[in-house]
Structure formats: structure tokens, C-alpha cells
Structure 1
Amino acid sequence: MTPRNEPDWLNKKYADEDGKFRRPQSAFRSFVSPDAGAEFPAEAGRYLLYRAIIVRKLKSLEDIVELVEVAGKTDGKGWTFDTPGPEKDPLYGFKYLRELYEKAAPDHEYKYISVPVLWDKNTEREIEDMNDWVYNTINNGVYKSGFAATQQAYEENHLANPAHQPYLFGANITEADIRLFTTMIRFDVAYYSIFKCNLKMIRHDYPRIHTWLRTLYWDESERTHGAFKDTTRFDAYKLGYSFALGAKIVPVGPVPNVVPL
């Protein structure tokens, strides 16, 4: 593996002057709606999805919403169109996802480029409907503070309530489950070692979260169509985050990546 220069994560490109990482709020907060007269109506073939594939599979939208996968963050410019996805953005020939953001709002200063992105081909705008609770306290937690143990304790207490089982809010999978899963499935295999969030592991220290995580991952029934397992890329997580931090060695463990039920 070729050594890289000092990574962006270490040089204040993403951190504020005090050295803390503060992910900015999204500039795009619209959503697709079936309602008459909606700004972004539900239409087959109109939207292009970058990166987020769990919901697409859960909702059986493979033939409705086109998917474009993006690769790891390189060259200090964020997500790229490269292996395992296309070499260029299929719509505009862009090399970096950043260029799509800049096309949507060229006057906005983008300090941090994130996925997923849902793109409307007709209006050439980005659509994003954030789940603030999970986003601010969970998805962004590993970047802000190495996933504070107090937040983990809160989640464990939440899942102890029978009304919040087997999923976060009861018997049905919600957007909160999907957003939390994408962070939790990365925690033991990437965040624990690469981000040095190594005080505790999900599999050893948080049994309720661990059970919830495995329940989603190993479910291949008609409820999920195997969406959680089939869209998980352990090797890509380890490689991508290692590159982002300039690591010369990619972690092999833990073994197994996910403990069987």
C-alpha cells in the first residue's frame, strides 16, 4: 500500500480552529412525496440515489430508482466515483461527489460532503430528509467524540423497554433503525480500531444493541429482502476509513465481522 500525505482528518480541513469536528447541518431538506402538486413527486426513473442502498432494497425500488455507488475519500476532495462504482458520475461525468453538491448550490461553501444523496434529474437538485435524533446523536457521534459511552447507555436503556423491541420503536423497522444500523455495523470493524473509539465494543459490552444489530443483519425474510446484510461492505469500511486517517495497515479483525444469531 502506498503511504499517503497527512490526511484531511488530521489537518483541520474538517476540524474547527479548536480542533473539534463539527459536522454542518444539511443544506438540503426536501423529500419525495406522492401528494398532488408536490415539489418532488414520486416518479419512476426520475431520481438517482448515491450510496444509500438499504432503503432502496427494503422498498423494492431497484427498478424505480437508479443507484450509483461511490468509493472512498481520496485526494482531500471527498467521495469519488471509482471502484467499486463507475469511474465517473453517469449524469454529468463528475469525478467527485463534491461536484454534484456544487452544481445543486454553487454559492454554498461545502466544508464536508456526505452521503446518501438523492438527486432529481428533472430539477437538478439534491433531496435529503434527515432524521435529526439518530443523525446528531449516533451517526455523527463517532466523528464528534469517539461515540461517547453516555449515548451508548441511553440506547441500551431505550432497547430495554419491551415497546422498543425488536426494533428501535417496536415491531416495525423505521428510518431510525436504518440510520442507526449504518453506524453500528461499522463500529466494531472500523470505528473501534481505526477511529480509536476503543473503550468498548458493541459485541462485548452492549448486549441489547448487539442483539438488535444482528437481528437486522441476519434477517433475509420478506420483511427485509436481506437488505441489511446484502448492502454491508466490511472490506470497504476498513479500507476507506484507514485511507481517510492515513493508516498504512488495514485492520483484519474482528472475527467474525458479525456474530451469528
Structure 2
Amino acid sequence: MTYCVGIALRDGLIMISDTRTNAGIDNISVYRKMHVLADADDRLIFCMSAGNLSVTQHVLGQLEEGLPPFAGDEHPRKLAHMPTMFRAAQLISEAVRLAGLELKPGLQRAGVASGISLIVGGRIAAADGSAGALKLYLIYDAGNFIECCADTPFLQIGATQYGKPILDRAMDYDSPLDEAVKVGLLSFDSTIRSDLSVGLPFDIVVIPADAGRPVVRRRIERDDAYFSDLSNRWSLMLKESRATIPDPPFMSAGGAYSALAR
């Protein structure tokens, strides 16, 4: 299992992934889930993956070598040739479908879970030379995909249930990038406390909407001072906040609880 979050805001794009893979409680290892699909002057595309590792690697290999050309064309279809992020998402989705057709029958006969899901984000320069809008997509195992929208400005894959509540409460399309990164890391902190299949290190990419600002690429290691402080402060603040909320009145002496106790 793994956990990945993509956040699409007015000010930019944030992608965070863990690195834990496991084939049982006694076979846990580290594998990067953040993949660079394109890094050139006219395009920057990242992909985060969850699910069967061999199928994921098959998809990534297809994208690197290029998908089969259309009839009448001899050149493989690559992300470097896609004119928009939407077309890039279509190509990646096709690679997922092709990998499924080739690998899933054998995996299913062997009783091996074969599903994968991807979060793809980035930008491709427009025809007029402008930087192009940032886009974020969730690609499902069947090869279909959806685009992240302002109403719910985040996408998740993997072990999503523990980190989702804080994203639902605290993430907003107009959130500043630094605040959103903080909330995203709190989502990961909540997840690793409740799910042993998710763990450090984390990989982070932050792409500002302003193409003139630098892209942030960072790995959060186990000894990262900021993440340790964030986790400790969050635990303390939760305890302090809990203490300020009045106790349930029905639990007070002489209330319903006392009546039930009798």
C-alpha cells in the first residue's frame, strides 16, 4: 500500500507521495512513487503511483519508449509530442490500458492483485509560447481519468481514508502554497500513525502557477526537523483543543449517564 496526494490550487500544484512498499508485514522496502515523466523547457510532468509495482513499471517503461504509432506513422507516440496536458493524460491512460491487457490475465491466474492508480500533474507550454496552465489528473486502473477541480482541490490514491478528513476540513482552492504543503504533510502524519503500510521518506514537488518562480523538489527523511516538529506540535494542539471543548452535558453527575448507571 502507499499514500499519494495531489493538490491543485490557484497559486500552484503540490504533489506528495510516500515510499513504502510491502509484500507482507516482514517484507517492507522503500520505492520511489514520484516519477518524472517530462522535464524540459516546454513541459514538466510528474506522476505518482499506487498499486501493483510491476504493472506500474510496465506503464512507465511504455511511456519512456513510446506507445505504438498510429496507422501511417512510423514514430512511437511519446509525452514529448503531446500538445496539452489533456492529451498527455490520454496517452498515459492508454498505457495503463495496454499494460492491463498484457499483464493482468497472468497476474489474476496467479492470484496477484494487479490494480494500479496514478496521479499525473504538471504543465505543457502553449502554442503561443506561454507556460501553459497547471493540470492535475487521477487515472484509474481501467484507463479512464478525471481532472481535479476547484470545488475539491485535491486527489488521493492508496491509503486515503486516514488523511482525507483534514484535507476536507482545511484545504481550499485559494489556500497559499506554504499553508497547503503544511496541511498535506499533516494528512500524511495522520496516515502513518494509523496505517503501517505507509511510511517515510516522503517526496514533495511544488510547482507555482507563476512559471517564473522555482519548482520545489524535496525529500522528507525520517530525521527531518520540520516534519518532526510539525507532528509533535499537531499532537499537542489536538490535545489542547480537545481540553477546551465542553464535556457532553449528558455525562455530568445527575444527568442521563447517572440514570443509566443505576
TM over 0.5: no
Bigger relative contact order, structure 1 or 2, given CA contacts below 8 A and separation 6+? 2
Query: What is the TM-score of this pair, normalised by structure 2?
Result: 0.31
Looking at CA atoms only, which structure, 1 or 2, has the larger radius of gyration?
2
